[in-house]
Amino acid sequence: MKEFRYRITDELGLHARPAGQLVKMATGFECEIKIGTPEKMVDAKRIMGVMGLALKQGDEVTLTFNGPDEAEALNALETFLKGNL
C-alpha cells in the first residue's frame, strides 16, 4: 500500500471539473484508490464520493493506493494534483 498527502492550493478547491478529471484518471487503474481526510475517506473512482468531500483551498487530502499498479497510479495522480489543484 502506498500513500500520498497533498494540500489543496486552488482557490476554488476541488470543484466539479478537476474532480471529474481525477475520477476519470483513477478509473484507469486496477488498484483500489481512496481519497479523503482523517474524518472521511471515499473511493476515488466515484464522482459523488469525491464531490461529497467538499475539499476547499488549504484542506489536506490523503490518497491511498492498494493493488498491482499502485506505484503508477500514485505517480499519475500526484502529477495531476500538483498541476491542477
Active site residues: 15
Q: For residue 85, is pLDDT > 90?
A: no
pLDDT digit string, tens, across residues 45-84: 999 999 999 999 999 999 999 999 999 999 999 999 999 8
pLDDT digit string, tens, across residues 28-50: 999 999 999 999 999 999 999 99
Q: What is the CATH number of the domain that holds 32?
A: 3.30.1340.10
Query: Can you give the residue range of the structural domain that contains 34?
Result: 2-84
pLDDT at 45: 97
Domains of the chain: total: 1
First-to-last alpha carbon distance for the chain, in angstroms, is 24
In sequence order, the β-bridge partners of residue 34 are 43, 64
